[in-house]
Amino acid sequence: MCEPITVAIALAATDAAAAVTSAGMSAYSAHQQGKFQSDMAKYQAKLATHRAAIATQEGAREAAEAAQRRRQAAASGLVQFAGNGLLIDQTPTSAPNLWEQDQMAELAREQFNIRRNAELAAWGYSTQGQMDSAQGQMASAAGRLGTASSLIGGVGSSIQNAAAGYSLGSALTKKTA
């Protein structure tokens, strides 16, 4: 049969090995979790950047469509003026010319609002992308800290288990002596 001190040392070594293994698994898990969260945040940041570009492009497209609609409405209105006998080429203050100037001013205001709304949407997406990127960096740092914490805790637990085994072995040695 084994001596009590041998059993105590074997149990302490097994306990220490289990603590180190557990710490390694926890460290790996913390690292993988941080990496995954970092990768997801980077992906979200890229999506936000794409959404910002799409919002800007969509604003330019809508502004061009508004200009096309206004030009068609202006042409139709000028035809109606001409059909009622009002000359388009009269003085700059004639009704057809003032109406056309009003149409162009309304177009400028409409295009400004469309572009501004698109820029605001793009700014929001861009800001979200920056926040996602920062979140990814924080997740990566948290993963590294979790890894280090697990390893340090495992080493401490291993040392504590070895010390407990040594104390038990010493106590058993004194009793048998």
pLDDT tens per residue, range 11-65: 777 877 887 888 888 888 888 888 898 899 999 999 999 999 999 999 999 999 9
3-state DSSP of the chain:
CCCHHHHHHHHHHHHHHHHHHHHHHHHHHHHHHHHHHHHHHHHHHHHHHHHHHHHHHHHHHHHHHHHHHHHHHHHHHHHHHHHCCCCCCCCCCCHHHHHHHHHHHHHHHHHHHHHHHHHHHHHHHHHHHHHHHHHHHHHHHHHHHHHHHHHHHHHHHHHHHHHHHHHHHHHHHHHHC
Lowest mean pLDDT among 1-10, 53-62, 69-78: 1-10
What's the pLDDT score for residue 124?
94
Q: Distance between CA atoms of 131 and 135, rounded to whole angstroms? A: 6
Q: Which residue has the higher pLDDT, 109 or 84?
A: 109
What's the pLDDT score for residue 100?
82
> What length does the chain have?
177
Lowest mean pLDDT among 41-50, 71-80, 100-109, 161-170: 161-170
Q: Distance between CA atoms of 123 and 16, rounded to whole angstroms? A: 54
What's the pLDDT score for residue 2?
64
What's the pLDDT score for residue 167?
76
Q: Distance between CA atoms of 112 and 172, rounded to whole angstroms? A: 88
CA 24 to chain centre: 29
Structural domain span for residue 161: 4-176
pLDDT at 112 over 90: yes
What's the pLDDT score for residue 43?
92
Domains contained in the chain, number: 1
116-133 residue pLDDT tens? 999 999 999 999 999 998
Average of per-residue pLDDT across 66-92:
81
135-168 residue pLDDT tens? 989 988 888 888 888 888 888 877 777 777 777 7
Q: How many CA atoms lie within 13 A of 74 on its CB side?
A: 19
